Amino acid sequence: MNERSRSGDGGKRRLDAIDEEILSLLERNARLSYEELGRRVGLSSNACRNRVAGLVGSGVIRGFHADVDRDAEGAPVHALLELRVRPGGHGPPVERYLLDLPGVQLLEHLAGPVHYSLRVRVPDLRALDDLIQQVQACGHVESTNTRIVTRQLWPK
């Protein structure tokens, strides 16, 4: 049996093969009906609904999300910015500043020589340049390195 962390309490919830299959199916398509999900895992729709509710309640499932095509939305430039911050520059003030910048999708704090990674999407290279300048203008940022994403591949 597999174990996944519960959200909030640091505990574990034991997952059986049916739970794992439900999670795998929902990761691929979170819009499956309970009827279809149950059919695929061999449960009634009510039993499947109860399983999903238990997975949500224990924090194994944190939410259901839309897969948005940002290129279609008009933000086709996707980049990763790696940041080094000055000593004492880590923490909520710099993180709030970075998260409030336009185009920022994700901020990750890292261990190692790079302190933060920013995932950004902007309409064009000029907007990316403006964003990089705003990041560098933060008094806590020591240096940046930018990588433009040319293609994304997702597991099936």
Average confidence score pLDDT of the chain: 88
pLDDT tens-digit map of 105-152: 999 999 999 999 999 999 999 999 999 999 999 999 999 999 999 988
Report whether pLDDT(1) > 90. no
Residues in contact with 102: Cβ distance below 8 Å, sequence separation at least 6, in sequence order? 122, 127, 131
**Mean pLDDT computed over 80-97:** 92
Are 92 and 134 contained in the same domain? yes
Amino acid 11: pLDDT: 54
pTM over 0.75: no
Structural domain range at position 42 = 2-57
Q: Provide mean pLDDT across the span 8-20.
A: 74
**Confidence band, pLDDT 50/70/90 cuts, at residue 9:** very low
Asked whether residue 153 is assigned to any structural domain, the reply reads no
Counting residues of the chain whose pLDDT is more than 70, the rounded percentage is 87
Last residue of a domain, one of 36, 57, 78: 57
Is position 154 within any domain?
no
CATH of the domain at 37: 1.10.10.10
